[in-house]
Amino acid sequence: MIETLLDQSVLRQGHEISFILGHKILAKTSQDWFELQGEALNVSDWEDLKDFCLHSNEKIQLETKGFVTGLYQSEKYAWRFSFVEKKDCFRAYLSAFKTSDDLQSGIEYPLFWDSVKKDKGLFIIGGERRQGKSTLLGEIITNVQNNKMSLTGIHSVNQQQKWPQLDSIVHLGADSVDWESQHILYEGLERIIVDFNNVKNWKKWIEFAEQGQSVFISVGLNSITTLLYKLASDLDESMMSRFIQVFNGAIVQKLASANKVALHEILVCREKEKKNLLRYYEQKQNFQLLNLTEISTEAYQTLNQSILQRMIRRKLDVQSAFAVSDAPDDLDAQLKKMGL
């Protein structure tokens, strides 16, 4: 029963599970909890859960009397667990475990890495909450700095230790994000990272890119089309034109399965793509119905293409693939075409 519940949670993108005796079993996806099982956890299920996690497990730590933590490797996934078993408190918590070796995004799209190396321009890192945007930004910074050292300033609410420990990084904090672009704070910076889920002042970051700096901005969104639609709503015609001129591209990351496999929709904006975007905007003033393959078939990777790459490499199973796909019918057709 327990193994089935874990699998159900994974299929619904739930990576954390709460078991409390006498209460319904809950799983968490992003920041929302949902009922994994309608019935309350009974004593028999509680004992099954303990046997499931604790039996023949050499990685158990007895922290204090009545509190146990450890790591359990099921048939498919690894789970961290903690148990509290005291009077009036019988509670267990499981979370999908991700090793440091799995933290890399695994992006194998050469145009993407060429684009983020540019010395000037603006790049968008997208994804919904808890989809690893900050981790991806950290990977990009490290990769770029290994190729060419440059002074990088980071606006972020995250703690400093979550970012690469490099001498060339200056932590600008969160409160200063609204300061004027001419402030002495930015003097000498060649690259600026803005790691929040929303952008209050697009004009400021567009101006930095126009002045010859590279800017990376993280935004909470679920697709590149959503980004373009949002920009068309937030910016007037003149500012939208300026944005496209400095736009180097965008990537949207989604995590799938309990192992949090990273999947990516990618648009690299070269001069050809910029002209196509600008022409489309000038004609229609709206990106809501835009088909990005019309803008570029050479510099655009769909989410389904990323999913197929992971499936071929056996990083992602079929059920998880369809659960995260934004176009499941198209994915189904591609799988059948490939004989899978």
Q: Is residue 307 in some structural domain?
A: no
Q: How many CB atoms lie within 10 A of CB 247?
A: 22
Based on the fold, state whether residues 200 and 167 are members of the same structural domain: yes
pLDDT of the residue at 62: 47
Based on the fold, state whether residues 178 and 269 are members of the same structural domain: yes
Range of the domain at 59: 2-97
pLDDT in tens, 112-147: 999 999 999 999 999 988 888 988 999 999 888 877
Give the chain's mean pLDDT.
84
Q: Is residue 335 in some structural domain?
A: no
* 280 three-class SS: helix
Q: Is residue 15 in some structural domain?
A: yes
Based on the fold, state whether residues 105 and 175 are members of the same structural domain: yes
Residue recorded with tokens 């293409």: 305
pLDDT of the residue at 218: 95
In the predicted model, is pLDDT for residue 230 greater than 80?
Answer: yes
In the predicted model, is pLDDT for residue 9 greater than 90?
Answer: no
Based on the fold, state whether residues 128 and 16 are members of the same structural domain: no
pLDDT of the residue at 258: 72
The answer, as to whether pTM is greater than 0.85, is: no
pLDDT of the residue at 154: 93
Provide the pLDDT confidence category of residue 149 given band limits of 50, 70 and 90: confident
Q: Is residue 319 in some structural domain?
A: no
φ, ψ for residue 196, nearest 5 deg: -135, 175
Based on the fold, state whether residues 152 and 259 are members of the same structural domain: yes
In the predicted model, is pLDDT for residue 193 greater than 90?
Answer: yes
Based on the fold, state whether residues 219 and 81 are members of the same structural domain: no
Residues 316-323 have a mean pLDDT of 89
pLDDT of the residue at 58: 47
Between the alpha carbon of residue 252 and those of residues 199, 225, 307, 315, the distances in Å are 16, 10, 13, 19
User: Which CATH number do you get for residue 33?
Assistant: 3.30.450.90
Residues 196-224 have a mean pLDDT of 94
Percent of the chain with pLDDT over 70: 89
pLDDT of the residue at 30: 57
Distance between CA atoms of 165 and 158, rounded to whole angstroms? 14
Residues 47-57 have a mean pLDDT of 74
Distance between CA atoms of 274 and 255, rounded to whole angstroms? 29
Last-in-domain residue among 97, 120, 150 = 97
Q: Structural domain tally of the chain?
A: 2
In the predicted model, is pLDDT for residue 321 greater than 50?
Answer: yes
Q: Is residue 315 in some structural domain?
A: no
Based on the fold, state whether residues 147 and 292 are members of the same structural domain: yes
Residues 271-278 have a mean pLDDT of 92
